[in-house]
Chains A and B, each alone.
Chain A
């Protein structure tokens, strides 16, 4: 399907971007702050701790030595100690990672599936009521502050219409399923505990929909405009002139072309979802990395914040590489040339 050359090129690119990301995070933690050591240990640390931090950072060393030390630490999974909990940041993040993964995955599925459906419906029934409704949904979506939609959703669906729970991943009386993937829904299914699965879904819906909404709107807009564009292309006319049925033309011929730009957008979507998780997890008390970093912010727990930044960004870069490869699979021309 895909040439080795193309894959190797993407992987090389991945390594380069990882390097770039680490340079930026290094700058943020070592160059920008007035006193990096103070940032690492927090305002209430004892002078001894501060001195130790200074030594470990090697602030008197040249900058590239500091960078090598920083990278060596990262390679060993060392992101420092959390000021707030005095625990290694890497371990803490690992603990909260599955919850964030479950939330963002669910939000992504919702955004992509409903975004495409809405966009296609809108393009196919252009200027009909479906189109108008979906365009209003999209316009509100792209203008909606995430932190506000969360609060409003809670007021509506927890207070006024008590349909969904306000916080957590499971009902209090249930215990989490035996961990395999860390995703409660998947683990619940593996363990065959349907009550856990249902409760997990019940808790997941509201935060996932809130998180997804903005991205859903963006995807719907993109799909609508590229679908309209594609439907006016000559090759669609050719297909019609050959007597290919309308449904086949829309859902196979046109959609595949229209989805190519959407694939790239999905990569960006994931970045926005990961960033948005901080807000959504806070509002819905979802025990993930976002809530963890939010709690860290109020303590100015700098190592925790930087750890979060690194993990999220590496994940984002990784996902975008996957997206690039998928883009290549969908678009034969790119696949062959192996570059954008």
Chain B
């Protein structure tokens, strides 16, 4: 015996009140009824939605810098940090005249996250030296097609007009350099 929690089975005969069963059934019904007056644990989705934790790790976003240039430089650290091997990328060299589009002389021509593989651990965000990828409190939409879960760069990248706020992810104790 390892835990002291095992109980010895006793085959004692029921008393008269126990053999009636009705008190036990009534007690069970009372428990059920009492739950009708307690606070409900479910919400009426989709009319109601739950409040996300500020550090919820959901759908990724690829950030742009203040001037609107893509921050990602395809260094591959997110992909090598990824325990699920969900991230793939192809790098390309920035041409003269593309300085407004890409921050560094190398950029991600293709960038893909397989959301079926992703376990939303956030290691990609932690590995990123360019503060380019963040997990956000958004959900990956469901779908019947596998292809819909292979998120390409175009879907991951935020637009200049419609930026994704990641300031709450940054409130964690400063692990990243000030760069």
Partners in one complex: no
The interface of chain B, by Cβ under 8 A from chain A, is none
The interface of chain A, by Cβ under 8 A from chain B, is none
